Amino acid sequence: MITIVDYGMGNLRSVQKAFELYCPKVKVSSSASDMLSADKVILPGVGAFGKAMEELNNRGLVEPIKACVKQGKPFLGICMGIQLLFPDSEEAKGVKGLGIFKGSVKRFSDNVGLKIPHMGWNRIKRASGREPVSVLKDVPDGSYMYFVHSYYVEPEDKSIVACETEYGRTFASGISKDNVYAFQFHPEKSQSAGLKIVKNFAEL
């Protein structure tokens, strides 16, 4: 069973429908036990960092998420779900994130003549010098994915960067370490290229 963590941050229906293409049992739930008993856990979400952490805290989901990561089960963060894995964000100073990875979440600079949010289809390129990342199997290098965000993650440990994207700067659009995978873009909204990632994760 795949459990999609529901903490009131956005529509999870399309995430669920995408994973149901490849996995018979996908549950959207805000219960800790559904997360702890799942084979795989997905942390999706759109919106603001501060609000997202508030909702996770209110539902008592912070410790269960950390426990799932520690258990070693495949864990996937999408969009806000990648940012929450870090200790804090420029979007909500003073709010503590999940802190699963070291690093920070930064806002795109207003001064380079680029629109914010970074919205639309952009390429992902595999980070150089990395072993092939399992969930990116069969995803051609340079594939277009659908992004919509104003903040990006900057991991301290560059070796966890799975893929990068250029938008005024090069930023980590995907990270992975052991059982944890996370993407800034929306695989479930990225047509056939994104659905390959969905399939790969479902089949891990």
Partner 1 sequence: MHCEVKRGVGNMLTKRIIPCLDVKDGRVVKGVKFLDLKDAGDPVEVAQAYDREEADEIVFLDITASYEKRQTMLDVVKRTAETVFMPLTVGGGISSLGDIRDLLNAGSDKVSINTAAVKEPELVSRASERFGSQCIVVAIDAKRRAGSKNPEWEVYINGGRTPTGIDAVEWGEKVEALGAGEILLTSMDMDGTKDGYDIELTRIFSESLNIPIIASGGAGNLEHLREVLTDGKADAALAASIFHFKEHSVREAKEYLKKKGVKVRI
- Of 182, 189, 107, 187, nearest in space to 149 by CA: 107
What backbone torsions phi and psi does residue 68 show, to the nearest 5 degrees?
A: -60, -45
| Residue 15 C-beta: closest distance to partner 1, Å | 10
If one asks whether residue 91 binds partner 1 (CB under 8 A), the answer comes out as no
- Of 19, 35, 121, 120, nearest in space to 71 by CA: 35
Contact pick of 25, 37, 119, 157 for partner 1 (by CB under 8 A): 119
118 has catalytic annotation: no
Query: Among residues 72 and 142, whose Cβ is nearest to partner 1?
Result: 142
Classify residue 157 by burial, with Cβ atoms within 10 Å: 0-12, 13-18, 19+. Answer: exposed
**What are 146's strand-pairing partners?**
121
Contact pick of 117, 137, 156, 158 for partner 1 (by CB under 8 A): 117
Contact pick of 114, 138, 157, 178 for partner 1 (by CB under 8 A): 114
| Residue 172 C-beta: closest distance to partner 1, Å | 14
Q: Which amino acid is at 30?
A: S
If one asks whether residue 126 binds partner 1 (CB under 8 A), the answer comes out as no
How far, in Å, are 39, 109, 129 from residue 76 at the CA level?
Answer: 12, 27, 22
If one asks whether residue 10 binds partner 1 (CB under 8 A), the answer comes out as yes
**Active-site annotation holder among 79, 91, 118, 149:** 79
Stretch that binds partner 1, among 68-76, 96-104, 108-116, 128-136 (CB under 8 A): 108-116
Stretch that binds partner 1, among 41-49, 58-66, 69-77, 92-100 (CB under 8 A): 41-49
If one asks whether residue 149 binds partner 1 (CB under 8 A), the answer comes out as yes
Structural tokens at position 111 = 């001064």
Spatial contact of 124 and 160, defined as CB atoms under 8 Å apart: no
Structural tokens at position 98 = 């999940």
186 has catalytic annotation: yes
**Active-site annotation holder among 91, 118, 149, 186:** 186
Helix/strand/coil for 179: coil
Longest dimension (CA), the chain: 47
Active site residues: 79, 186, 188
Residues near partner 1 (CB under 8 A) are: 9-11, 13-14, 17-18, 46-48, 51, 110-123, 144, 146-150, 165-170, 186, 188-191, 194-195
